[in-house]
Structure 1
Amino acid sequence: MSLAPAPRGWPARPTDAGPLVKICGLTRPDLARAAVAAGADLVGIVHFPPSPRHLDLDAAAAVADAVRGTATVVALVVDADDATLDALVARARPDALQLHGKETPERVAHLAARHGLPVAKALGVATAADLAAAARYDALLVLDAKPPKDADRPGGHGQRFDWRVLDALDPARPFMLSGGLDPESVAEAVATVRPYAVDVSSGVETNRIKDIAKMSAFVAAVRAA
């Protein structure tokens, strides 16, 4: 099985390099630089107050500026309104947006056109039926575990879903795999589902802070796979 191609507007993989690596939830410029030094291709900043990794506009800009030109900066938001996104894009100047709320296909298209940026849309996955909405979105899909029932924010909360359900996805559709990835599990994930990119946050942290050794181990595991 070949790796999925790069979606429109997103960076291409070097030949035979395997999936791109996104390290999300960077909260400090030095750790963002460390992520890139470890080999990350994409760096994620979170602008969503309920998240423990939330950055205000100035902090988001500082992290983005630290790696600008050396990695693709992806700003993650959840059901953000136009004013919030206008301010974030103007201040942090991300290269792409990642939407983790209940954004409709129409909302995704609107934001892509409004900001002129490539957009990724997260979908929570538990069964093959959860992939039915995928065809409606003109965006890079981020396939993550569904949040626990008592969760106060979206996302997989570091949980893994059954990757076998992705057999139901159009094999020509590129996606980013998220949810429960860490240096020990990511090689199996790459071999099993062959994603365009892999996305990790808590899996490379110690006490909710990005761990340089874990980031390096994660990238090395992806490259070896």
Structure 2
Amino acid sequence: MTAAEPSLIVKICGLRTAETMEAALAAGADMIGLVSFAPSPRHVDAAAAAVLADQARGRAEIVLLTVDADDQTLAAVVEAIRPDWLQLHGRETPARVTEVRRRFGRPVMKALGIRDAADLAAAADYAVADRLLFDAKPPKDATRPGGNGLAFDWRLLAKLDPRLRFMLSGGLDPDTVAEAVRIARPLGVDVSSGVERAPGDKDPALIAAFVRAARAAQTLGALA
């Protein structure tokens, strides 16, 4: 990594406890994610998320993940948690992304589910988002749109417009992140299930290992 080369952004998502939050912060995560979506095993209510957000404030950027939330719901959680970013992980349209950015005055990261090249066609329409997050498209019977531990073919991203600001998620863990970075060349990486013992149960040792592996991927020239 050269002085002119931007640092790879590392995001640990779905944190639920003070212990694992501290593990992510101590490891040097750039962003932490709090999930406000009841069907997810990583869901935290607004009161608990506010405490976790305060633990992270000033040490990492705070990302609040919601799924197809209406304005009333968003207003309540934004007021309680005071996130730096909003991550929209549902079926929000480009118009909805634009409206959320305007109404809540936060940068928006929009997740897009990817299975094949056709799914990338929507990326240009979502350029209204401040950042895109490419995640594996969930199975048809999935109860949540992300955090399923699945990967997609990262080679699909090779022909994307290099000006497109995107992060990568889906199937990442300490053993796969270096290869993902080498192939996809993302702005950053986002992990949740890949640093867990069980759904929703983060492992501090895996968090530290993931951050080390992501940093090493860039240091060793994976982005060169």
1:26-84: CA deviation from partner (whole Å, max 9, x where unpaired) = 00123112101011000000000000111111011011011101000000000000000
- Does 2:177 align with 1:186? yes
SS in 2 for 1:87: helix
Match in the other structure for 1:200: 191
Please show how residues 55-66 of structure 1 align to structure 2 within 5 Å.
55-66=44-55
Instruction: Give the distance between the partners of 1:200 and 1:103, measured in 2 at CA.
Output: 22
TM-score by length of 1: 0.91
Asked if the contact 1:19/1:194 (under 8 Å) is kept, the reply is no
Residue matched to 1:218:
210
Task: Could you tell me which runs of 5 or more consecutive residues in structure 1 were left unpaired when the two chains were aligned.
Answer: 3-13
2:86 aligns to what SS in structure 1?
Answer: strand
Equivalenced residue count is 213
Whole-Å Cα distance in 1 between the matches of residues 159 and 121 of structure 2? 9
C-alpha contact (below 8 Å) 2:27/2:211 kept by paired residues: yes
**Which residue type is aligned with residue 188 of structure 1?**
E
Separation (CA, whole Å) in 1 of partners of 2:119 and 2:59: 35
Give secondary structure in 2 for the equivalent of 1:155: coil
* SS of aligned partner of 1:198: strand
CA distance in structure 2 between the aligned counterparts of 1:15 and 1:212, rounded to whole angstroms: 31
Q: Is the 8 A contact 1:159 1:179 kept in 2?
A: yes
CA gap of 1:129–1:170, structure 2 versus 1, over 3 A, is: same
Give unpaired runs (5+ residues) of structure 2: 218-224
SS at match of 2:120: helix
CA RMSD in angstroms, aligned pairs only: 1.4
1:118 to 102, 107, 110: 107
Q: Which residue of 1 aligns with 2:60?
A: 71
* 1:5-42 CA-partner distances (Å, limit 9, x unpaired): xxxxxxxxx85464110000000123112101011000
Q: Deviations over 1:180-219 (max 9, x none)?
A: 0000000011111111110000101112311111111111
Equivalent residue for 1:6? Answer: none
SS state at 2:145 partner: coil
The one-letter code matched in structure 1 to 2:213 is A
Q: Contact conserved, 2:158 with 2:183, CA < 8 A, in 1? A: no
Q: Does 1:158 align with 2:149?
A: yes
| Equivalences for residues 84-163 of structure 1 within 5 A | 84-137=73-126, 138-139=128-129, 140-155=131-146, 157-163=148-154
Q: 1:156 to 1:166 in 2, by over 3 A?
A: farther
Structure 2 equivalent of residue 7 of structure 1: none
- CA contact under 8 A between 1:77 and 1:100: conserved in structure 2? yes
